[in-house]
Amino acid sequence: MAPPGRRERPFSSGRFPGLLLATLVLQLSSFSDACEAPPTFEAMELIGKPKPYYKVGERVDYKCKKGYFYVPPLATHSICDRNHTWLPVSDEGCYREMCPHIRDPLNGEAILANGSYEFGSELHFICNEGYYLIGKDILYCELKDTVAVWSGKPPLCEKILCTPPPKIKNGKHTFSEVEVFEYLDAVTYSCDPAPGPDPFSLIGESMIYCGNNSTWSHAAPECKVVKCRFPVVENGKQISGFGKKFYYKATVMFECDKGYYLNGSDKIVCESNSTWDPPVPKCLKVSTSPNTKSPTSSASGPRPTYKPPVSNYPGYPKPDEGILDSLDDWVIALIVIVIVVAVAVICVALYRFLQGRKKKGTYLTDENHREVKFTSL
Ligand SMILES: *[C@@H]1O[C@H](CO)[C@@H](O)[C@H](O)[C@H]1NC(C)=O
Ligand SMILES: *[C@@H]1O[C@H](CO)[C@@H](O)[C@H](O)[C@H]1NC(C)=O
Ligand SMILES: *[C@@H]1O[C@H](CO)[C@@H](O)[C@H](O)[C@H]1NC(C)=O
Ligand SMILES: *[C@@H]1O[C@H](CO)[C@@H](O)[C@H](O)[C@H]1NC(C)=O
Ligand SMILES: *[C@@H]1O[C@H](CO)[C@@H](O)[C@H](O)[C@H]1NC(C)=O
Ligand SMILES: *[C@@H]1O[C@H](CO)[C@@H](O)[C@H](O)[C@H]1NC(C)=O
């Protein structure tokens, strides 16, 4: 089909139908200025039906699609230009329908996730701390027919409340008479005095609070007698945590005797099931095979021999410092002798001098003319 107003070439259509068609297509695509289908857009559509070809200068008009509305001044038409092109046109003048504004819920906040109320966007809801959300936390702005509407009703924010915390056997909690607890309200558990010789231990959190899900922050603790057996370590001794009775969380530390090494943990704790955790260690005899004999090594692993810390015993002779020590003693003795001799010499000298003065009968006079006998001894 030739565009209107275009003359046919003098070809015999009967004898050369293929050639005729080819020529026609070639004509349209390279030699004609005709425009083909006008551009399509997301937000606007052509008014009327599109034609296969448009003459140069021919105009097409658009309108905004359903759900969009036009805001001037951008043009919504285009004209067929030379060289098979349409003059530029855009759909930016067509705006999406918008959902109605929704206010922040009481004790909460509505947040536009996509920055607009246009359909396709989302409205997210959050409640203030201490409140919880009832309903959908996200609403979607959707197009229904030609209007944009929210996908549901906005949610509500309700105050978080907790029912009273659990009552426990052999114990009690504070505020036991309160019926309703608010967010972050806390209670503290304590154990009753035990009827027997051993007290109840509180196992778990003693303080719990009303939290986010209207649930208590922790499970209620337990009150029961926890008593671990006396931890016997043969060839070793306790170095801390002495006592006769070992209740919940009692901690004991051990050390092995000379010639023994510790297999297990040097520190054990009495756990809620009345067992030691980790288990009570053992002190094993140090092997005397040549492989393991390395007295100088103080690194990890079994210590084969136990060397007493000699420096802690002052009277104990230090084997490799003996010679040096006696040398020191000699020096000290010499100094003492020198001092004694010197003092003796000085004393003798002084005595002689004083004896000399006494014979002369010398008197000295002070400022107040009081006579002082200098040499009276
Ligand atoms: C026609 O369009 C082609 C490519 O689309 C371009 O190369 C050519 O320069 C254009 N001619 C004119 C006259 O605009
Ligand atoms: C809107 O925002 C949400 C959350 O940021 C995102 O998941 C969604 O893809 C966005 N929708 C559109 C249409 O941009
Ligand atoms: C409750 O949840 C909010 C938000 O997730 C958080 O900020 C707050 O710390 C939570 N409160 C508690 C007690 O866990
Ligand atoms: C609240 O409940 C949800 C599921 O029920 C859980 O995943 C979340 O950890 C709970 N939060 C708190 C603070 O207990
Ligand atoms: C320590 O004891 C554990 C078991 O209690 C044992 O498997 C391990 O071989 C012992 N280690 C030594 C060095 O004896
Ligand atoms: C006791 O509790 C500890 C951990 O607390 C556990 O390793 C051990 O197996 C428990 N023992 C018994 C007898 O339940």
DSSP string, 153-208: ---EEEE-EEPPPPP-TTEEETTTT-S-EETT-EEEEEEPPPSSSSPPEEES-SEE
Please indicate, yes or no, whether residues 125 and 92 belong to a single structural domain of this protein.
Answer: no
pLDDT value, residue 156: 96
Question: Ligand 3: which of 129, 157, 181 to mutate, most ligand atoms within 8 Å of CB?
Answer: 129
325 Rama class: left (phi>0) / alpha (psi -120 to 50) / beta: alpha
pLDDT value, residue 90: 84
Q: Does residue 9 lie in a domain region?
A: no
**Boundary of a domain, candidates 96, 127, 142:** 96
Please indicate, yes or no, whether residues 155 and 172 belong to a single structural domain of this protein.
Answer: no
pLDDT value, residue 18: 47
Q: Does residue 303 lie in a domain region?
A: no
CB atoms within 10 A of CB 108: 20
Ligand 1 center from residue 202 Cα (angstroms): 89
Closest protein CA for atom 2 of ligand 4: 213
Ligand 5 center from residue 256 Cα (angstroms): 15
pLDDT in tens, 148-179: 999 999 999 999 999 999 999 999 999 999 99
Query: Tens of pLDDT along the chain (377 residues)?
Result: 333 333 333 334 444 444 444 444 444 554 467 888 888 888 898 888 888 888 888 888 999 988 888 888 888 888 888 888 888 888 888 998 999 999 999 999 999 998 889 999 999 999 999 999 999 999 999 999 888 999 999 999 999 999 999 999 999 999 999 999 999 999 999 999 989 899 999 999 999 999 999 999 999 999 999 999 999 999 999 998 888 899 999 999 999 999 999 999 999 999 999 999 999 999 999 887 655 444 443 344 444 444 433 333 333 333 344 444 455 666 666 776 777 778 777 767 777 877 766 554 444 434 444 433 443 34
Nearest-angstrom CA–CA distance, 209 and 220: 10
Assess whether the C-beta atom of 215 lies below 6 angstroms from ligand 3. Answer: no
Please indicate, yes or no, whether residues 239 and 221 belong to a single structural domain of this protein.
Answer: no
pLDDT in tens, 67-95: 888 888 888 888 888 888 888 888 888 99
Render 90-116 in DSSP notation, one character per residue. -STTEEE-BPPP-PPPTTEEEEETTSS
Residues paired with 190 in a beta bridge: 172
Q: Does residue 89 lie in a domain region?
A: yes
Please indicate, yes or no, whether residues 38 and 68 belong to a single structural domain of this protein.
Answer: yes
Please indicate, yes or no, whether residues 118 and 155 belong to a single structural domain of this protein.
Answer: yes
- Residues with a CB atom less than 6 Å from ligand 5: 263, 284
pLDDT value, residue 13: 40
Ligand 4 center from residue 213 Cα (angstroms): 6
Q: Does residue 331 lie in a domain region?
A: no
User: What is the domain extent for residue 212?
Assistant: 161-225
Ligand 2 atom with least separation from CA of 113: 2
Please indicate, yes or no, whether residues 236 and 268 belong to a single structural domain of this protein.
Answer: yes
Please indicate, yes or no, whether residues 38 and 88 belong to a single structural domain of this protein.
Answer: yes
Ligand 2 center from residue 123 Cα (angstroms): 10
Secondary element (H or E) of residue 222: strand 222-224
Helices (H), the chain: 17-26, 322-360
Please indicate, yes or no, whether residues 238 and 269 belong to a single structural domain of this protein.
Answer: yes
pLDDT value, residue 220: 96
Please indicate, yes or no, whether residues 218 and 233 belong to a single structural domain of this protein.
Answer: no
- Residues with a CB atom less than 6 Å from ligand 2: 113-114, 120-122
Please confirm whether the linkage preceding 278 is cis (ω < 30° from 0): yes
Nearest-angstrom CA–CA distance, 343 and 360: 27
Q: Does residue 3 lie in a domain region?
A: no
**Boundary of a domain, candidates 190, 208, 225:** 225
Q: Does residue 154 lie in a domain region?
A: yes
Nearest-angstrom CA–CA distance, 171 and 179: 19
Please indicate, yes or no, whether residues 166 and 221 belong to a single structural domain of this protein.
Answer: yes
Q: Does residue 13 lie in a domain region?
A: no
Closest protein CA for atom 10 of ligand 6: 273
Task: Write the CATH number for 50.
Answer: 2.10.70.10
pLDDT value, residue 240: 87
Q: Which ligand is nearest to the CA of 277?
A: 6
Ligand 4 center from residue 365 Cα (angstroms): 106
**Boundary of a domain, candidates 204, 225, 246:** 225
pLDDT value, residue 289: 65
Structural domains of the chain, count: 4
Q: Does residue 194 lie in a domain region?
A: yes
pLDDT value, residue 341: 75
Residue 26 sits at φ, ψ, to 5 deg, of -60, -45
